[in-house]
Amino acid sequence: MSRPTATAPGSWGVEPGASPLDPPWPQVLDEIAAVGFDGSELGPVGYYPEEAALVPVLAERGLRLAAGFVMEPFHDARARQATLAIARRTCATLAAAGASAVVLIEALVPERSRTAGRTADAPRLDPAGWETLVELLGETTRLAREEYGLRAVFHPHAGTYVEFADEIARLLGDTAPAELGLCVDTGHAVYAGIEPVELIASYGDRVGHVHVKDIGAGALADARDRERSFEQAVAAGVFTPLGEGDVDLVAVARALDGIDYDGWIVFEQDRLAGDRRASAEAAASLRHLREVGIAPNS
């Protein structure tokens, strides 16, 4: 099955909130193209050129735009206007560059980052916060669809208020399948104690985007035992190049085949800014995607 491949600036350590260690965006795009990916995700809005300015810089490298994310505190009514403003900027660039999906993610918050991967210890949203979360996701989803022609998918993320299996089930139960799809992230699923294959099988009709990460079981157990925050676990190297961790990616390939998934496959490896191994590890990870059958051989 033909599935285009991409990676993201996050695999080079580029995250929201610019770091002086972030590599220049032309370098990241040059390296993504040199490795052999079909495209790139947008990364934090404002890192790559925006709207029509992004089109030629992708085209000259033979790349497409796979998707982009809006990672904001959807549970916080006070952040509504700021969240919608970021969503509009992001969606405008996605639409201009020909992407078809926007990935919505709850923001990392300290009280949940501290309990990442530990469901029994993690505080849950109160009813008002949950209602705000669902309402603002709905508003953002409609904005993406009606103003920009984009499909919204939700990404459960470690260290946020939508991380664990019960929270995913609740959110998808509170939203319409036709309105909000699911972005499966193999590494974040395992971080939350969820088998990615089970997530794909349970919500196959809603899977609209896939992030493939690998994670070391020993490093994850250590992070839980030491009660590390999500950011501390990333700094300690909990995520690895594909094939060096313990995610069963062969089983993931079979599960994606089972739901006839033919969308983007996006390799991600959360890391600290300034890590010079990014390009070489992205190349090794793309080879592994092809070896296990998640992505087609070129």
Q: Which two tokens stand for residue 243?
A: 């094939």
Identify the CATH number of the domain in which residue 122 sits: 3.20.20.150
Given a cut of 80, whether residue 104 has pLDDT beyond it is yes
Given a contact cutoff of 8 angstroms between Cβ atoms, the answer to whether 175 and 140 are in contact is no
Averaged pLDDT for residues 74-97: 98
Residue 1: band (very low, low, confident or very high) from pLDDT cuts 50, 70, 90: low
Residue-level pLDDT at 48: 98
Task: Give the C-alpha separation, 10 to 162, whole Å.
Answer: 20
Three-state DSSP class for residue 266: strand
Q: Domain for residue 244, yes or no?
A: yes
Task: Give the C-alpha separation, 107 to 173, whole Å.
Answer: 21
- CB-based contacts of 223, cutoff 8 Å, min separation 6: 116, 117, 232, 233, 236, 238
Number of domains the chain is built from: 1
Given a cut of 90, whether residue 205 has pLDDT beyond it is yes
Quote the percentage of the chain above a pLDDT of 90: 98
Residue-level pLDDT at 298: 65
Given a contact cutoff of 8 angstroms between Cβ atoms, the answer to whether 6 and 264 are in contact is yes
Q: Domain for residue 297, yes or no?
A: no
Task: Give the C-alpha separation, 169 to 151, whole Å.
Answer: 20
Task: Give the C-alpha separation, 273 to 291, whole Å.
Answer: 28
Amino acid occupying residue 46: G
Domain range for 58:
5-292
Output the CA torsion 284→290→291→293 (10° steps). Answer: 140
Tell whether the torsion through CA atoms of 179, 205, 298 and 290 is positive or negative: positive
Tell which residue, 91, 53, 50, has the closest CA to residue 70: 91
Residues in the chain: 298
Segment 22-60, tens digit of pLDDT: 999 999 999 999 999 999 999 999 999 999 999 999 999
DSSP-derived letter for residue 38 is S
Tell which residue, 215, 177, 179, has the closest CA to residue 196: 215
Q: Which two tokens stand for residue 205?
A: 């009709």
Segment 138-150, tens digit of pLDDT: 999 999 999 999 9
Q: Are strands 239-240 and 214-215 parallel, antiparallel or unpaired?
A: antiparallel
Q: Domain for residue 298, yes or no?
A: no
Residue-level pLDDT at 296: 86
Total-model pTM: 0.97
